[in-house]
Amino acid sequence: MLNKFYITTTIPYANADPHIGFALEILYADIMARYRRLLGDDVYFLTGTDEHGQKMLKTAKEAGQPVEKFAAEKSAKFQSLADQCNISNNDFIRTTEERHIKRAKKFWELAQKNGDIYKKQYSGLYCVGCESFKTEKDLMDGKCSLHNTAPEILTEENYFFRLSRFQKSLEKLFKKNKSFVYPASRYNEMQNVLRSGLEDISISREKKKLPWGIEVPGDAEQVMYVWFDALTNYITALGWGSADESLFKKYWPADAHVVGKDVNRFHSLLWPAMLLSVGIDLPKQIAVHGFIYVDGQKMSKSLGNVVNPDELSAKYPLDSVRYFFAREIPFDNDGDFTNEKFVERYNADLANGIGNLTSRVLTMVEKTGGVVPAAEKKNAKWQSLVTKTWKEYAGFLAQWRFDRALETVWKFVSFCDQTISEKQPWKMVKQLSFPRKRESMSELEDLLFYLCESLRQIAVMLLPFMPDTTDKIFVRLGLDAGKELAKSFSELRTWTDISGNKISKGEPLFPRI
């Protein structure tokens, strides 16, 4: 029986076009989903869009469009982003879909039935950008640290969720499972929030002030506050609360919620408390990534530095964009994007790295008959290096360190390049007497075989990151990509005899910019 692996991204607000910040998140999740499929797991990968809330209504009005039409158009762009970035998601959930609305209401009813939802008059500081209430200690110089705007004072009668009731339960969770929030720095942040004490949280808005949202069950004057609506997508998309809960029973609990550091608190504290309220198992891990900055600054419309992922993938090969984000931006920290950094990384690692290695190896095979030669001698040192590379690679991927995993692969790429430079196979060809004798050919054939098999191994390692490149390398080595990827992970990483395969050199994988 296959191990299941359920992974999700956050569902971003669909009030603006997607930018590279979310492209980074969806790519991180896709890399892990593809890797787990490579391991042989039964993977279910969910993404989607959050389409309710004050910010959504406000932006639609400013655009002069009905909010339903505006939300549909923006959501379609996020679905298009997933396609354009070659994301392998199984489902895309919209919070305006009937399947979500019905099940989110059922979740509310259960929490209310269990005594965890109550109504009261409230006055507080509300940040529209965050769609959440703030306390004075959350602010910097009286402003939201994320949006640099002063929150508005909001007074109204709302429903509240008894988050404070789950203080001790969450403390036990964090004490028992120190990997519940990854990395450790984000875990420690949530520990500090817990130490300061949890307060009950507003989970509704008056409908007369916010008519765009899911109506609170039994109260037509209130709509669900966006987080209490949105967070339930992780289970509503699996059919929880419907007549058919087969997907939910198969894949829940989530193995990883991939989220940005700005929404860590909602996923690591509020979401587990909500699940505890209705008696649903908790997710296994909240994997929190950092931000991507542009030339050292946070992306902002006012600064004019918002980078559209569509423009990047139109300008450069998609796999090079995927590679840059995974290699340049460490999952557990913030990273920076500039066009100069992109071109530098592209030329150094892709054009001069894997692209050049592939071209050099296949050119030599082409000159010696166009077929992968057989090796007469076993090279234990070379095979041992491959085994070591796979071990390091797997270790880094298990820690969400995609940058380090790729660094490990490129060390092996460099080893292959260095071996070519040292052995100088082009001189070996010239030195061969004619007709070529078996003895004089053996050293060259052994070298070329090992280089070709190393290319195959590298192609497998690149699959989670650069799936198109993997396919291209397979084809050029005379392999059927479909048949290769149908093999088990154990077969794929085992040293394989691909001798006799007819190679096809093809165009450069990554022409130099």
- Spatial contact of 360 and 418, defined as CB atoms under 8 Å apart: no
Average pLDDT over residues 487-507: 93
CATH 3.40.50.620 domain extents, the chain: 4-312
Q: How much is the pLDDT for 378?
A: 84
Strand 139-140 vs strand 181-182: parallel, antiparallel, or unpaired?
unpaired
Tokens 């699940």, located at residue: 275
Q: Is the pLDDT of residue 22 over 60?
A: yes
> Do the strands 139-140 and 143-144 form a parallel or antiparallel pair, or are they unpaired?
antiparallel
**Residues near 476 by beta carbon (within 8 Å), at least 6 away in sequence:** 358, 362, 503, 504, 505, 506
Instruction: Give the number of other Cβ atoms within 10 Å of residue 128's Cβ.
Output: 16
d(C-alpha 468, C-alpha 189), whole Å: 38
> Which of these ranges, 44-53, 151-160, 229-238, has the smallest mean pLDDT?
151-160
Q: What is the CATH number of domain 343-493?
A: 1.10.730.10
Region 15-20: mean pLDDT is 90
Q: CA dist 71 to 63, 156, 224, 441, Å?
A: 11, 27, 17, 66
Query: Taking the model in full, what pTM does it have?
Result: 0.93
State percent of the chain over pLDDT 70: 93
The full DSSP string for 306-335 is PPPHHHHHHHS-HHHHHHHHHHHS-TTS-E
Q: Is the pLDDT of residue 328 over 90?
A: yes
203 token code pair: 């989970």
pLDDT, position 447: 93
CB-based contact 453:496 (threshold 8 Å)? yes
> Is residue 438 pLDDT above 60, yes or no?
no
Q: How far is it, in rounded angstroms, from Cα 132 to Cα 116?
A: 19
Mean pLDDT (whole number) for 446-475? 97
Find where tokens 């991204």 sit. Answer: 9
Tokens representing residue 35 in the block: 């890797």
DSSP-assigned beta bridge partners for residue 223: 205, 215
Instruction: Tell me what percent of the residues of the chain surpass a pLDDT of 90.
Output: 79
Confidence check: pLDDT of 154 > 80: no
**pLDDT of 334-371, one tens digit each?**
999 999 999 999 999 999 999 999 999 999 999 888 99
Q: How far apart, in whole angstroms, are the C-alpha atoms of residue 352 and residue 365?
A: 19
Phi, psi of 342 (to 5 degrees): -60, -50
Sign of the C-alpha dihedral computed for residues 501, 504, 509 and 513 taken in this order: positive
Higher pLDDT pick, 168 / 150: 168
Rg (CA), the chain: 27
- Within 66-97, residue ranges assigned H as helices are 67-84
Strands of the 286-289 sheet, one edge to the other: 91-94, 42-49, 4-9, 256-260, 286-289, 181-182
Residue 105 has pLDDT above 90, yes or no: yes
308 band by pLDDT with thresholds 50, 70 and 90: confident
- Are residues 411 and 418 in contact, defined by beta-carbon separation less than 8 angstroms? no
CA torsion angle for 122, 125, 126, 132 (degrees, to 10)? Answer: -80
Distance (Å, rounded) from C-alpha 220 to C-alpha 237? 25
Q: What is the pLDDT of residue 128?
A: 67
pLDDT band at 300 (very low <50, low <70, confident <90, very high): low
pLDDT beyond 70 at 398: yes
What does the alpha-carbon distance between residue 72 and residue 66 come to, in Å, rounded to a whole number? 10
Q: What is the pLDDT of residue 451?
A: 96
Nearest 5°: CA angle at 269, between 268 and 274?
A: 110
Determine the pLDDT at residue 152. Answer: 76
Q: Would you say residue 309 has pLDDT above 90?
A: no
Q: Architecture of 4-312 per CATH? A: 3-Layer(aba) Sandwich (3.40)
CA atoms of 17 and 301, how far apart (whole Å): 11
- Residue pair 249/214 in contact by the 8 Å Cβ criterion: no
pLDDT over 90 at 30, yes or no: yes
CA distance 278 to 485: 41
Length of the chain as a residue count? 513
Structure tokens, 209: 């002030």
Average per-residue pLDDT in the chain? 92
Measure the N-to-C terminal CA separation of the chain; round to a whole number of Å: 47
In the chain, which segments carry CATH 1.10.730.10? 343-493
Whether omega before 435 lies within 30 degrees of 0, making that bond cis, reads yes
Residue 290: the pLDDT is 95
CB-based contact 233:52 (threshold 8 Å) = no
- pLDDT tens digits along 186-217: 999 999 999 999 999 999 999 998 999 999 99
**CB-based burial, 195-206: b 16+ in 10 Å, e otherwise:** eeebebbbbbbe
- Among all chains, which residue has been given the structure tokens 């004019």? 304
Going by pLDDT thresholds of 50, 70 and 90, the confidence category of residue 132 is low
pLDDT bucket at 443, cuts 50 / 70 / 90: confident
Checking if the pLDDT of 143 tops 90, the result is no
Q: Is the pLDDT of residue 140 over 90?
A: no
Residue 307, both tokens: 């980078």
pLDDT at 25 over 70: yes
Max mean pLDDT range (55-59, 140-144, 426-430): 55-59
- Per DSSP (E only), the strands in 211-351 are 215-216, 219-224, 256-260, 286-289, 292-294, 335-337
